Amino acid sequence: MEIEIASLSTKKIEGSLFNIVNKRPIDKRTNEFLKEVSRFLKRNSFNTGNKEVVCLRCLKAFIIVKSKDYEIPIHIKDYFLSRMKCEIGHDEYYLDSGNLRKIR
């Protein structure tokens, strides 16, 4: 059985975070959300030999969950989600630091 892993370089994702911050002023809540995404990347990335990658399906689920928690403006949430052409999580769950979390 072949397993396809939807992944993306953490540098590309962090570049997207940088673009959001530099395009328009952001409020404190959005800033904290972006820091939370950055921390997720750090604790869930893995090395493929030539770059650090993260599972996009887990990242997408995390962004959806945390954007609700932080009440993030739709344009910021959509900015991320529109770039991730993958499903959300894995059967209603995602991994964070090796812990299985339910998408709520």
Within 8 A by CB and 6+ apart from 76, the residues are 20, 26, 30, 33, 67
- Give pLDDT, residue 64: 94
In-domain check, residue 47: yes
Question: Is 95 exposed, middle or buried, given 0-12, 13-18 or 19+ CB atoms closer than 10 A?
Answer: middle
Degrees to nearest 5, angle at CA 75 with 37 and 23: 80
Number of domains in the chain: 1
> Can you read off the two tokens belonging to residue 97?
């630091």
Report the predicted TM-score, pTM, of the whole model to 2 decimal places: 0.79
- Give pLDDT, residue 59: 92
pLDDT digits (tens, 9 = 90+) for 8-19: 555 666 566 556
- The CA radius of gyration of the chain, in Å to the nearest whole number, is 13
In-domain check, residue 101: no
Per-residue pLDDT of the chain (104 residues; tens, 9 = 90+): 333 444 555 566 656 655 655 566 678 888 888 889 889 988 998 888 887 788 889 999 999 999 999 998 888 888 888 888 889 999 999 999 999 999 98
In-domain check, residue 30: yes
**Quick one: which of 16, 20, 17, 99 has its CA closest to 58?**
99
In-domain check, residue 2: no
User: Residue 66's domain spans which residues?
Assistant: 7-96
pLDDT digits (tens, 9 = 90+) for 30-43: 888 888 988 998 89
Amino acid in the structure at residue 54: V
- Give pLDDT, residue 62: 96
